[in-house]
Amino acid sequence: MAGIAAGGSRRSALAPWLLVAPGVLWLLAFYLVPTLTLARTSFATGDLPWYDGYQRAFTDYGQHMLRSFGYALTATIAAILLGYPLAYVMAFRADRLKNFLLGLVILPFFTTFLVRTFAWKTILNDGGPVVNLLGTLHLLPADGRLLNTIWAVIGGITYNFLPFMILPIYVSLEKIDRRLTEAAQDLYCNQFTAFRKVVLPLSLPGVLAGSLLTFIPASGDFLNAELLGSPNQKMLGSVIQGQFLTVRDYPLAAALSFALMALITILVVMYARALGTEDLA
Amino acid sequence: MTTEKKGAVGTRWTGPMLDVYAGLVLLYLFLPIFVIIAYSFNKPEGKFNFVWKAFSLDAWRDPFIYPALVEAMKLSLKVAAVSTSVATVFGALIALALCRYTWKAAGPVNFLLVLPLTTPEVVLGSSLLSLFLQANVQTGFWTIVIAHIMFSVSYVALTVKARIRGFDWTLEEAAMDLYANPLRVIFKVTLPLIAPGIAAAAMLSFALSLDDFIITLFNAGSRVTYPLYVYGARRAAFPPQINVLATVILLGSLLLLGATVLWQNRRLKEALTGK
C-alpha cells in the first residue's frame, strides 16, 4: 500500500500485530496446519511406499482429474462469454440502472445454492419445456435427454459461478477512464478497435480474477455432477468425498485432495503469467 | 436513440444487441429462482417436488411440519450467528491493521487471507477433517463453527479492507488534538467510519455460512444443517417446504439488504450534518 498511514509512527509497533493476531492465528491453525496434516496423511501409507496414495490417485482416478479440469475449464470459458457482455453493459450502457443490475447479479446468492441446483433438475427434466423446445429444434443428443448429460453438468457449474465472473469484470470495466475510449475514437479508432485496443486490455485483471474465482471452485465441485449428471460425469470432488467419508481410505483421499490443490496452483500461476498480471489480492 | 452518447459504447446495431444478450444472461441467472418460488406453491405427486402438478398453498400453510427440516434450519442459523460474530471481529481487526499501518508483515498477511479463497472447498473441508481425525476431535457443532469462521475471516477482512481503503485517518488525529480520549476516538470516530463496511461483511459472512455445503459435509459429524438436509432429501423425499424456506431466506435477505441501505443513507446524512 502506497503512502504512509497517518499516525503510524506515533503508535507502538506492536499494535498491528495485536490486531491481526486472533484472525491470523485462526487461519494458521485451521487453514495452514490442516493443509500440512493433509500432506502428512497422504504419505501415511503404513507398510506401502510413501507415494502409494499418489500412485493410485493418478492411475485409478486420473480420468476423474482430467474430467474435473476439463469441465471447470469449459465452464470458465462459458462464464467469460456470458459474463463479459453483461458486465460490459452494466459498466458502459446501463447508466442509472447500474446499481439495480448489480443487485440482480448478486441476488442468486441469497437463495441456497443447493436448492438452486435442484431447480435446474426441474428445469432440465425429461418432458420439461426446455427439453421439448430443444427437441423440436433437433438440438438434443440421440436419446433426447438433457438431465444426466455432460451439458447439464457444465451448464450447472457455469450457472453456479457466473456471478463470481461478472463482478470482478464489472469492477475492472467500471474503473476504466471514459476519456480513454473517447481519445481512441478521436484518433479515428472505430468502436471495435477502441474496444480491442483500450477496453479489453484494461479489463484483463478482472477477467483473470473472475476466471480464478470460477475455475478453482469449479474444479473441486461435485454437486452439479452428482445432481445433474450420471455416474459417467463423476468428478474428482465426488471421489475425494467418497474416499474420505465412506471408504475411509485416508492416504488415497488425502493424496487426491493434495494433488488437486497442487495442480490448481500450477495452472493458476501459469495462467497469471500468461495474462501478465500477478497481483491477485 | 438516434445518436449515441459520446463515450457510450456500441454502434446502432451492436449496442441493442448487447443489451438483449445481457438480458438473456440475467434470465439464465434468474430462471432457477423463479422455479424455486413457483414450486413452493406446487402440490407434488408423490414425495419429490420436481414435477409441476397443481397449485396449492399447503406448504406455505404448514412450513414447519417436518421436524428434521426445522431442526436443520435452526442449526444452520445458530452456526451462522456464532461464526459470523467471531469472523466479523477477527476479519475487521485484520482489515484495520492492514489499512492503518504501513507494516512489513502486511504482504504475508494479505497472502494468507487470499489463500483460502484460492483453495477448492473440497480441499479445505478434507484437510480440516484430517486435522480433526489426527487430533481425535469428534466432529459436530463446534467443528462446523470452526470451519465456517476459517473461510469467513478472509471474506470479512477483504470486504472491510476494500471499503475502508482511502479513508481519511487524520480525522482520528483531529479528534485527539481536540482532547478526545482514545476510547472516545474509537467509539465516536473510528467505528462510525468503518461500520458500513463491517455490516456488509457480516451479511456476506452470514450468507456464506448459511449456504455452505461442501466444507460442512466433511466436518459436520452427525449434525445436519439446512444444506445437508436438502442434500439428503434427494434420496428420501423433497417436500415443497424446502422451497418455502428458500423463498423465505431470499425475502429475508432482501429486507435486510434494504434496511442496511436505508441505515447507511441515514448514517451518511448524520455524518454530513454533524449529528
Q: Which of B124, B116, B123, B132 is nearest to B221 (CA)?
A: B132
- The neighbour count for residue A246, using CB atoms within 10 Å, is 9
Residues B72 and B225: beta-carbon distance below 8 Å? yes
Q: Digits of tens for pLDDT over chain A (281 positions)?
A: 333 444 444 456 788 899 999 999 999 999 999 999 999 999 988 888 889 999 999 999 999 999 999 999 999 999 999 999 999 999 988 888 888 888 889 888 888 889 999 999 999 988 788 888 888 888 777 777 888 899 999 999 999 999 999 999 999 999 888 888 888 878 877 878 888 888 899 999 999 999 999 999 999 999 999 999 999 999 999 999 999 999 999 999 999 999 999 999 888 888 878 776 544 44
Which residues, numbered 138 to 167 in chain A, qualify as contacts with chain B under a Cβ-Cβ cut-off of 8 Å? 159, 162-163
Contacts of A182 in chain B (CB under 8 A): 6-7
The confidence score (pLDDT) of residue B5 equals 46
The answer to the question of residue A186 being in a domain is yes
User: What is the distance between the alpha carbons of residues B70 and B64, in angstroms, rounded to a whole number?
Assistant: 6
Assign B10 a pLDDT band (cuts: 50, 70, 90): low
Contact in structure between A117 and A223 (CB atoms under 8 Å): yes
Residue A165: name the closest of A86, A108, A97 by CA: A86
Give the per-residue pLDDT at A7.
44
Q: Which domain does A91 fall in, by range?
A: 43-275
Indicate whether B6 pLDDT > 50. no
Which CATH number do you get for residue A79? 1.10.3720.10
Q: Say yes or no: A7 and A109 in one domain.
A: no
Same domain for A16 and A130? no
Instruction: Kindly state the DSSP code that residue B48 receives in the 8-state scheme.
Output: B
Instruction: Please tell me whether residues A28 and A136 are part of one structural domain.
Output: no
Calpha distance B138→B255 (Å, rounded): 38
Contacts of A142 (CB under 8 A, 6+ apart): none
CA distance A55 to B10: 54
pTM score, two decimals? 0.87
Residues A30 and A147 in one domain: no
> How many separate domains does chain A show?
2
Q: Which of A258, A247, A186 is nearest to A42 (CA)?
A: A258
- Pair (A22, A145) in one structural domain: no
HSE, CB side, 13 Å, CA atoms: give it for residue A176. 28
Q: Do B25 and A27 touch (CB under 8 A)?
A: no
Beta-carbon pairs below 8 A across chains A and B: 293
Q: Are residues A25 and A164 in the same domain?
A: no
Is residue A170 a contact partner of residue A83, using CB atoms and an 8 Å limit? no
Q: Do B116 and A31 touch (CB under 8 A)?
A: yes
Chain B CB contacts of A31 below 8 Å: 112, 115-116, 119, 124, 150
The dihedral over CA atoms of B153, B155, B156, B162, expressed in degrees to the nearest 10, equals 140
Tell me the per-residue pLDDT of B154-182, one tens digit each, with 9 for 90 and over.
Answer: 999 999 998 887 777 788 888 888 888 87
CA end-to-end span of chain A = 12
- The span from the CA of A210 to the CA of A78, in Å, is 12
Backbone angles phi, psi at B83, to 5 degrees: -65, -35
Does residue A91 sit in the same domain as residue A217? yes
Is residue A258 one of the residues assigned to a domain?
yes
Query: Mutation test of the interface with chain B: which of A17, A24, A157, A164, choosing the one with the most B Cβ atoms within 10 A?
Result: A24
In a domain, A280, yes or no: no
Say whether A116 and B33 touch across the interface (CB within 8 A): yes
Residue A222 near residue B122 (C-beta atoms within 8 A): yes
Q: Which residue of B has its CA nearest to A3?
A: B102
Nearest to B172 among A7, A104, A111 (CB): A7
Task: Say if residue A15 is in the same domain as residue A105.
Answer: no
Q: Read off the C-alpha cell for A70.
A: 476439463
In the chain, the amino acid numbered A147 is L
The residue of chain B nearest to residue A80, with distances taken between CA atoms, is: B25
